[in-house]
């Protein structure tokens, strides 16, 4: 972890070289001639100043280091809804590709992953472009997430699942955040990135991952282990690990690294705890006894439309795998809460932050008891 002030390419390149040298240097992760996927967070076609996506300056710096190592980088992701060409253009990735003379590719062509009994999910499909790469460098954005609390290194690799199949996975795992986190762990293990570099210089707090508030954290972090990095960043943010679904899922599967065993190189005390960070409050379904879990749809928070903000674009309808949302001619959204699986994909893709949440009974009870 290192302090970093801005997105100046020259300064970024120097900081990245310094950071990665502590891990053995870029040549420790990629070899000459390797085809290397650089996987940023390209959630939507958003200007980098909104801090929704990985900043193009970091992607450019990393890709140039890979080029200097004699490898062959390409930039890739698979947005859930918007055309990849538009996402690449508006996020600045297209320009990075032109400047460096490297491909910028939509991660298409789903392919079955060969798994074993150690995986929780046995029918995972991710882009063949990922599986055929010689190495993957993962460049997530530091953001909060209304369903998963935070979206960091491990969660970023959900973007290797091809387009609309992401919504299908949301539908399959339903309300169980820990199960969804376990899916993220399996995808992370299947992709097996050689290096994760977190863009936390500017990130997002509050109503993330797409509608939160930009926040300057000044953090640039790298690790060969994305799960360890995510746990360390939770400490940095002052988040209780037991509130983080990914950590709970990893601990349940004996995959979590105890926080005290994570060695932070070049860490100074003042780097830690950036002050109060606005973290989403989740309905903690893992505290429910088993006999109450069938009642979860009636206990957890539910999405609703902010009529003043909604422009009637219909993205929420398009993304909803449960087909729980309809859009009336007068731009009124109607939710079928019996079908709704509370994946909050509608909130994630809404360009106007027009999807809000009403607290469920479970969250009200947990807040009453300060849980």
pLDDT of residue 1: 57
Q: Considering the domain boundaries, does residue 156 fall inside one?
A: yes
The count of C-alpha atoms lying within 13 angstroms of the C-alpha of 137, restricted to the half-sphere facing its C-beta, is 31
The string of pLDDT tens digits covering residues 20-37 is 999 999 999 999 999 999
- CATH assignment of the domain containing 308: 3.30.70.20
Per residue in 209-268, pLDDT tens? 999 999 999 999 999 999 999 999 998 898 999 999 999 999 999 999 888 888 877 654
Pairing of strands 104-106, 72-77: parallel
Say whether both 137 and 21 belong to one domain: yes
Residues 303, 230 share a domain: no
Based on the domain organization, do 241 and 202 belong to the same domain? yes
Assess whether 123 and 254 both reside in one domain.
yes
Check residue 178 and give its pLDDT.
92
Please enumerate in sequence order all residues whose Cβ is within 8 A of that of 348, keeping only pairs 6 or more positions apart, or say none.
Answer: 43, 146, 147, 209, 210, 319
Digit-coded pLDDT (tens) for 116-160: 999 999 889 999 999 999 999 999 999 999 999 999 999 999 999
Q: Specify the pLDDT at position 163.
A: 86
293 and 212 in one domain?
Answer: no
Residue 105 sits at φ, ψ, to 5 deg, of -125, 140
- Residue range 51-107, pLDDT digits in tens: 999 999 999 999 999 999 999 999 999 998 899 999 999 999 999 999 999 999 999
Give the residue from 211, 237, 271 where a domain finishes.
271
Residue 174 clears pLDDT 50, i.e. is over it? yes
278 in a structural domain = no
Count of the separate structural domains present in the chain: 2
| Residue 79 shares a structural domain with residue 159 | yes
Q: Within its chain, how far is the Cα of 293 from the centroid?
A: 26
Q: Tell me, what DSSP letter sits at residue 120?
A: S
Same domain, 249 and 364: no
Indicate if 83 and 163 belong to the same structural domain: yes
Structural domain includes residue 280:
no
Domain contains 18: yes
Residue 175: per-residue pLDDT: 73
Same domain, 298 and 236: no
Per-residue pLDDT, 285: 54
Looking at 227, 245, 271, the residue that finishes a domain is 271
Looking at residue 249, what is its pLDDT? 96
Residues 112 and 251 in one domain: yes
Is the residue at 15 inside a domain? yes
Same-domain pairing of 73 and 172? yes
Do 216 and 154 reside in the same domain of the chain?
yes
Q: Domain for residue 307, yes or no?
A: yes
Residue 299 has a pLDDT of 66
**Which of 230, 246, 271 lies at the terminal end of a domain, its last residue?**
271
pLDDT at 229: 96
Q: What is the pLDDT of residues 191-212, one digit of tens each?
A: 999 999 999 999 999 999 999 9
Stated pTM of the model: 0.90
Q: How remote is the C-alpha of 72 from its chain's centroid?
A: 25
The pLDDT score that the predictor gives to residue 258 is 86
> Would residue 203 count as lying in a domain?
yes
Range of 341's domain? 285-368
Q: What is the CATH number of the domain that holds 167?
A: 3.40.50.11440
In terms of DSSP H, where are the helices of 79-164? 84-90, 93-100, 128-131, 153-156
122: in domain = yes
Residue 173's nearest CA partner among 322, 304, 317, 316 is 322
Segment 300-357, tens digit of pLDDT:
788 999 999 999 999 999 999 899 999 999 999 999 998 998 888 899 899 999 999 8
């Amino acid at each position: 972890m290192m302090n970093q002030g801005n997105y100046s390419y020259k300064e970024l390149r120097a900081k990245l070289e310094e950071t990665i040298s502590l891990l053995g240097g870029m040549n420790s992760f990629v070899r000459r001639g390797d085809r290397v996927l650089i996987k940023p967070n390209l959630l939507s076609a958003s200007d980098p100043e909104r801090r929704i996506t990985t900043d193009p300056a970091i992607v450019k710096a990393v890709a140039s280091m890979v080029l200097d190592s004699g490898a062959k980088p390409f930039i890739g992701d698979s947005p859930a809804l918007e055309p990849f060409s538009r996402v690449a253009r508006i996020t600045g990735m297209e320009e990075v590709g032109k400047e460096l003379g490297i491909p910028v590719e939509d991660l298409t062509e789903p392919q079955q992953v060969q798994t074993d009994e150690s995986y929780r999910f046995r029918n995972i499909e991710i882009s063949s472009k990922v599986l055929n790469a010689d190495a993957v460098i993962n460049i997530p954005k530091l953001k909060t997430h209304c369903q998963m609390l935070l979206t960091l290194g491990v969660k970023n690799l959900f973007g290797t699942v091809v387009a609309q199949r992401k919504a299908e996975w949301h539908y399959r795992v339903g309300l169980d955040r820990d199960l969804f986190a376990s899916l993220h762990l399996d995808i992370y293990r299947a992709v097996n990135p050689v290096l994760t570099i977190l863009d936390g210089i500017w990130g997002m707090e509050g109503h993330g991952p797409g509608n939160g508030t930009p926040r300057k954290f000044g953090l640039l972090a790298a690790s060969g282990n994305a799960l360890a990095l995510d746990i360390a960043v939770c400490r940095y943010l002052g988040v209780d690990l037991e509130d983080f679904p990914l950590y709970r899922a990893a601990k349940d599967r004996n995959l979590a690294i105890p926080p005290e065993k994570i060695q932070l190189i070049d860490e100074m005390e003042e780097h830690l705890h950036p002050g109060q960070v606005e973290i989403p409050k989740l309905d903690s379904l893992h505290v429910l006894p088993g006999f109450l879990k069938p009642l979860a749809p009636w206990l957890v928070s539910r999405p609703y439309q902010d009529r003043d903000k909604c422009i009637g674009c219909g993205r929420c309808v398009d993304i909803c795998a449960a087909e729980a949302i309809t859009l009336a001619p007068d731009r009124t959204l109607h939710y079928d809460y019996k079908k709704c699986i509370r994946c909050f994909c509608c909130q994630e893709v809404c360009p106007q932050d027009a999807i809000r949440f009403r607290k469920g009974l479970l969250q009200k009870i947990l807040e009453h008891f300060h849980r």
